[in-house]
Amino acid sequence: MFRRLPDGDRAVALTVTIDGQRYGARTGDTVAALLLLSGAKATRVSPVSGEPRAPYCMMGVCFECLVTIDGVGNRQSCLIEVADGMRIETQKSRREAGR
Ligand code: FES
């Protein structure tokens, strides 16, 4: 559903994992943008209803885009740029103790 706009200057230069699968990313991509490009249907589930949630505002306001990045939970993926080797995990429940 999501695809990149034509942008010939920025080549795929970074590699990250999303739920254990490797993806190529470009410098300057946000984690939320990469998740949407990867086809992810949700970044987390609601701890109250269990309903899937996905990035909405893409500017740090709604908190629907929370993910675990490099073992740290509840990170706003729309505000974080990808980095080479980053480990991104969608959140299946509440933030876990110790994360
Ligand atoms: S998409 Fe709204 S805070 Fe990230």
64 pocket-lining for ligand 1 (C-beta < 6 Å): yes
CB-CB contact of 68 with 89 (8 Å): yes
Q: Which residue minimizes the CA distance to atom 3 of ligand 1?
A: 60
pLDDT in tens, 69-86: 999 999 999 999 999 999
The closest-lying atom of ligand 1 relative to the alpha carbon of residue 61 is 3
By DSSP bridging, strand 87-90 and strand 14-18 are parallel
Q: 3-class DSSP state for residue 23?
A: strand
pLDDT in tens, 30-73: 999 999 999 998 999 988 888 999 999 999 999 999 999 999 99
d(CA 2, CA 16): 18
Q: How far does the centroid of ligand 1 lie from the alpha carbon of residue 3, in Å?
A: 19
Q: What is the pTM of this model?
A: 0.88
Sheet arrangement for strand 72-76: 21-25, 14-18, 87-90, 66-69, 72-76
Q: How far does the centroid of ligand 1 lie from the alpha carbon of residue 10, in Å?
A: 24
CA angle, residues 25, 30, 35, in degrees to nearest 5: 70
pLDDT in tens, 3-42: 888 876 677 789 999 999 999 999 999 999 999 999 998 9
